[in-house]
Amino acid sequence: MAPSLLADASTTSVAGGLRLLDYGMVVAYLLATAAIVVWSARRQKDTETFFLGNRQMPWLAVGLSIMATLLSSISYLGLTGEMVKNGVSVFGTYLGWPLAMLMVIPLFIPFFMRLRLTSAYSYLELRFNRSARRLGSGLFFLLRLGWISMVMYSGSLALSAMAGWNIYSVIIVLGLAATLYAFFGGFEAVIWTDVLQALMLFGGALGIVVFVWLTTGDSPAGWWQTASTIDSAHTRPPWFSLDPRVRMTIGTVAINGFFWQICTHASDQVVLQRYSSTSSAYAATRSYIVNMLSSLSIGLLLGLSGLALLHYYTTRPERLAEGMSARDAGDKLMPYFYSHELPMGCAGLILANFLCDAMQTLVAGVNSIAAVAIADFFRDEPGDRQSAARQLSMARWLTVFLGLVCIGFALVIAIVSREYEFNIVDLMPRAFNLFLGPLAALFFIGMFVPRATARSAIPAVLFCLVVSIVWSYWKPLTGAADHLSPYWAIVVPCVVGVSLAILLSLVLGEPAEHPGRQYCWREVMRRPVDRPPPHRAV
């Protein structure tokens, strides 16, 4: 009986698209997040509260916040679209995560929790010099401005596909609303709306799986069989290839997943700021475990959703718009399904999910960027209440400026995507991930290459950045016939940067003992947990 009822509901939705009830659900969701912002804004007194929630955020909420922030609509649409278009190799990402956990928990979380910095890039000045700190901050700005812009683009892509709105108008309206949210909300609002967002993300992915299963009567085994009829790579992908022109194999995707995890947790303010908002290293570790378990669960669920969508529309091509095919739709297939198949009201919740995810990412991103900017470029000497109030005001207006910049970047990405027909996964290294390898390399050099000083580290990272840019833009820069695989775009530059720093530190005859050595990983970890290093920078 259930399949028949769902089929009738979906027919109604296809005929009418989004209904009044759907838009009502959007309004209700926006009102709920607005209430969180108002509640949070009343608790802000200084930048410590605005950027770190007074370091008293619950570990469970922080873990869900990290998952919701790092997942975002980029992965939500991109992972499913990659499954639809290129097959099960995308699941290889999660094969690298267990090894990453064995590094993040003992190496990175206790290290940064001993430092307890508002800006993670303060560490680079302690370890190297002010130029290294500015280099790290600059790479982070580019990384997260590109990331925010990509999330705004992908969220707007979903919204325009579901509601038929103009994507450029959506980007502008969405960006302005999120900028206003960032101005008032602060970090505490970011955490709690992320928790709400995480629940919605699970519900949206689970809704696809349940709906397709009940409607078609076919299990995931049947979905797999359908995918195998499209081409062999969908269900029997190659295991590994050293040819950088091969877009994806299980092995290269697993290596990419491992490096993305360790690079993000060793150098990204968005993540490290959340761990610093907890009360202890123990709480931060629990947050990380929650993040990993929830990310793994939603990732596998999204991959299964991709299989479900591919099966549903391959066996029911008449339900697609004219000229549309299941595989070629890629990133657009999920929002199309939400707006045309789900019963009335459900699509509105999903629409609100994409809307608030794009807004939430801008808020979280600009809050982290502003935290770095205030700490690294505009911070006053410790002073009175007037100084704290001035910095809080500066932080808020800085979020406005950054929000406007992100709107401009998102519009550019939308134009480039339409011009070159890139999908979301293809855009990720070109828009922002090309900065992650060099940024992480700078931190890895600082932590694990004791002999290195700024004289060897900075040139190595700058060369690493050049390698990253060339890799990500190989085809347009060289006129080659093929793009290089986006799944090597973090790995290769990071390895090159660290290796070159080791070589330069030996060639340049760097001294074995120097002041920055006390901030290498081994030396910092010898300090008691409750005692910060001397002359702690914030």
Q: Please write the tens of the pLDDT for every residue from 434-473.
A: 999 999 999 999 999 999 999 999 999 999 999 999 998 8
So what's the pLDDT on residue 454? Answer: 95
Instruction: Judge contact between 87 and 327, C-beta under 8 A.
Output: no
Instruction: Judge contact between 446 and 423, C-beta under 8 A.
Output: no
So what's the pLDDT on residue 47? Answer: 46
The two structure tokens encoding residue 418: 């339409």
Instruction: Judge contact between 175 and 463, C-beta under 8 A.
Output: no
So what's the pLDDT on residue 418? Answer: 73
- Domain extent, residue 267, equals 2-525
Query: Could you tell me how many helices (H) and strands (E) the chain has, helices first?
Result: 24, 0
So what's the pLDDT on residue 29? Answer: 72
> Between the CA atoms of 112, 113, 116 and 118, what dihedral angle is there, to the nearest 10 degrees?
60
Contacts of 483 (CB under 8 A, 6+ apart): 245, 247, 426, 474, 475
Contacts of 84 (CB under 8 A, 6+ apart): 306, 309, 310, 326, 327, 329, 330, 333
Identify whether 322 is part of a domain: yes
> Between the CA atoms of 486, 489, 491 and 494, what dihedral angle is there, to the nearest 10 degrees?
-170
DSSP 514: -
So what's the pLDDT on residue 333? Answer: 83
Phi, psi for 452 (deg, rounded to 5): -70, 140
Residue 251: closest CA among 62, 70, 96: 96
**CA–CA gap between residue 161 and residue 82 (Å, rounded):** 18
**CA–CA gap between residue 151 and residue 428 (Å, rounded):** 10
What's the total number of domains in the chain?
1
So what's the pLDDT on residue 245? Answer: 85
So what's the pLDDT on residue 55? Answer: 57
> Between the CA atoms of 425, 426, 428 and 433, what dihedral angle is there, to the nearest 10 degrees?
120
CATH number for the domain spanning 102: value is 1.20.1730.10
Identify whether 537 is part of a domain: no
Instruction: Judge contact between 97 and 292, C-beta under 8 A.
Output: yes
Phi, psi for 423 (deg, rounded to 5): -90, 180
**CA–CA gap between residue 31 and residue 110 (Å, rounded):** 38
Distance, CA of 74 to chain centre = 7
So what's the pLDDT on residue 41? Answer: 58
So what's the pLDDT on residue 125? Answer: 93
* Positive or negative: CA dihedral 273, 279, 280, 286: negative
Identify whether 531 is part of a domain: no
Identify whether 470 is part of a domain: yes
Identify whether 120 is part of a domain: yes
Identify whether 538 is part of a domain: no
Q: Which segments in the chain show pLDDT lower than 50? A: 1-16, 46-53, 380-386, 531-538
So what's the pLDDT on residue 442? Answer: 97
In this structure, which amino acid lies at residue 368?
Answer: S
Task: List b or e across 374-386, with b for residues whose CB sees 16 or more CB atoms inside 10 angstroms.
Answer: bbbeebeeeeeee
Identify whether 533 is part of a domain: no
Size (the chain), residues? 538
Identify whether 75 is part of a domain: yes
Residue 363 vs residues 51, 139, 406: alpha-carbon distances, Å: 11, 19, 11
The two structure tokens encoding residue 223: 């979905």
